[in-house]
Amino acid sequence: MRVKLNGDGAMEKFSQNLLTIGHGNVPENSTGHIKINNICSLVDTFDDLITSVFPNLIDNFHNHDWLCERAILAPINTIARTINRRMLDSLPGTIKMFESINANMDPLDNVKFPIEFLNSLDIFGPPDPILALKGGCSVIFLRNITSLKLFNGTRLVVNKMSENIIDATIITGYGKGEDVLIPKVTLTT
């Protein structure tokens, strides 16, 4: 939908290429692979991928418009965590860790589902039990808090962090350019 609204011919072609691939209309070679022309660049390592998508990260990570033009999508959480951690490690500053407080709704379930087990789960839905951040890092909001103009998919840049609040600037969407204070949020799954 966005491609048609923007009227960008290059984006229209990109969209059509993705649809062709998605519908299985690209011929496979003898090994079962497909050849993709002019849609991506191949890299050998995660570091090459990061450098390709975020060139000169150290010089540009404070530029919000530059950050909004870039993203790396990963097929599984473990790859996303690896890429995120490498990028975070490359930024200046000290990492601050935020740990979730997992608990069972019924205390009798603590025997069946100990907290260590809950923290080890890697499923779609609940966020990781440990969130690592640095000042200046880019994050994507995964919940909706309409009073703060934060919606699933909103991108922000972290300014400051304390034990219970994260100060960030919205860099995409409805509240672009606004600073928000994000409190700890209770999630029930």
pLDDT tens, position by position, 111-128: 677 767 766 665 555 566
Both 63 and 149 in one domain: the answer is yes
| Beta bridge partners of residue 183, listed in sequence order | 165
Q: Which range, 91-95, 116-120, 145-149, has the best average confidence (pLDDT)?
A: 91-95
Separation CA 161–CA 181 (nearest Å): 9
Both 35 and 45 in one domain: the answer is no
Which pLDDT tens digit goes with each residue over 13-63?
777 877 888 788 888 888 877 777 666 677 889 999 999 999 999 999 999
- Considering the entire predicted model, what is its pTM? 0.69
Both 124 and 76 in one domain: the answer is yes
Half-sphere exposure (CA, 13 Å, Cβ side) for 26? Answer: 14
Number of domains the chain contains: 2
List the domain range (segments joined by +) for residue 107: 41-183
45 falls within a domain: yes
C-alpha pair distances (Å), 165 with each of 161, 168, 183: 6, 10, 5
Both 144 and 69 in one domain: the answer is yes
Both 60 and 33 in one domain: the answer is no
Both 64 and 33 in one domain: the answer is no
Tell me the DSSP string of 77-106.
Answer: HHHHHHHHHHHHHHSSS--EEEE-----SS
183: enclosing H helix or E strand? strand 179-183
Hey, what are 131's tokens?
Answer: 């969130």
Both 29 and 81 in one domain: the answer is no
Both 75 and 129 in one domain: the answer is yes
Q: What is the CA radius of gyration of the chain?
A: 20
31 falls within a domain: yes
35 falls within a domain: yes
